[in-house]
Amino acid sequence: MKQEMIQFIRNNNQQFVQLRRDLHRIPETAFAEIKTAAYIAAKLREWGYTPQEGIGQTGVVAELQGGAGDGPVLAVRADMDALAVTEQTGLSFASEHPGRMHACGHDSHMAMVLGTAFVLAQFRSHLAGTVKFIFQPSEEQPTGAGAMIDDGVLQNPAPDGIVALHNWPGLPVGQLALSAGPVTGSVDRFQITVSGRGGHGAKPHETVDPVVMASHCVLALQTVVSRLNNPLKPLVLTIGAIHGGEAFNVIPHEVRLTGTVRAADPEVQSQIPAQMKQVLDGVTAAYGGSAQLDYEWGIPSVVNDGPFTEQVEQYLRRWFPPEQVVALPEPSLVGEDYSLFLQNVTGTFFFLGTGDQGGPGLHHPQYSVPEDILSVGVQSFCAIVWEFFSEK
Ligand code: NI
Taking the CB of residue 88, how many other CB atoms lie within 10 A of it? 15
For domain 2-183+301-391, say whether CATH 3.90.1150.10 is its number: no
Exposure class string for 113-142: b at 16+ Cβ within 10 A, else e: bbbbbbbbbebeebbebbbbbbbbbbbbbb
Q: How far is the CA of 344 from the centre of ligand 1 (A)?
A: 21
Distance in Å, CA 41 to ligand 1 centroid: 21
pLDDT given for residue 370 in this prediction: 96
**Which parts of the chain register pLDDT below 50?**
none
Q: How far is CA 72 from CA 157, 314, 342, in A?
A: 10, 18, 17
Instruction: State whether residue 392 is helix, strand or coil.
Output: coil
Q: Where are the domains of the chain?
A: 2-183+301-391, 187-299
**What's the gap in Å between 14 CA and the centre of ligand 1?**
24
Q: What is the C-alpha separation between 120 and 116, in angstroms, rounded?
A: 6
With CA atoms as reference, report the closest residue to 80 among 138, 26, 22: 138
> How many A from CA of 105 to the centre of ligand 1?
6
Helix (H) or strand (E) holding 296: strand 290-299
CA–centroid distance, residue 205 to ligand 1 (Å) = 51
Tally the C-alpha atoms within 13 A of residue 141's C-alpha that lie toward its C-beta.
16
362 Cα to the center of ligand 1, angstroms: 7
Question: What is the distance between the alpha carbons of residues 22 and 25, in angstroms, rounded to a whole number?
Answer: 5
How far apart, in Å, are the Cα atoms of 236 and each of 185, 228, 233, 271? 9, 12, 10, 13
What pLDDT is attached to residue 358?
77
Q: Which residues have CB atoms below 5 A from the ion given as ligand 1?
A: 104
Distances 314 to 75, 310, 326 between C-alpha atoms, Å: 18, 6, 11
Taking the C-alpha atoms of residue 34 and residue 315, their distance in angstroms, rounded to an integer, is: 35
Assigned architecture for domain 187-299: 2-Layer Sandwich (3.30)
Q: Which helix (H) or strand (E) holds 105?
A: none
Q: Which amino acid is at 84?
A: A
Q: Which of 182, 183, 212 has the alpha carbon at shortest distance from 195?
A: 212
| Ligand 1: centre distance to CA 334 (Å) | 9
DSSP code at position 56: T
Q: How far is the CA of 351 from the centre of ligand 1 (A)?
A: 11
**This prediction's pTM:** 0.93
What does the pLDDT read at residue 357?
72
Q: Are 177 and 168 in contact (CB under 8 A)?
A: yes
In whole angstroms, what separates CA 316 from the centre of its chain? 22
Q: How far is the CA of 256 from the centre of ligand 1 (A)?
A: 30
Domains 2-183+301-391 and 187-299 share a fold: no
Distance from the CA of 122 to the center of ligand 1, in angstroms?
29
Give the largest CA-CA distance in the chain.
Answer: 83
Query: Residue 212 and residue 281: Cα distance in Å, rounded?
Result: 15
d(CA 237, CA 228): 12
Q: What separation in Å is there between the alpha carbon of 212 and the centre of ligand 1?
A: 39
Enumerate the β-bridge partners of residue 166: 351
Name residues whose C-beta falls within 8 Å of residue 258's C-beta, 6 or more positions apart in sequence.
Answer: 189, 190, 191, 192, 239, 240, 241, 242, 243
User: What's the gap in Å between 223 CA and the centre of ligand 1?
Assistant: 30
> How many other C-beta atoms can be found within 10 angstroms of the C-beta atom of residue 220?
17
pLDDT score recorded for residue 356: 76
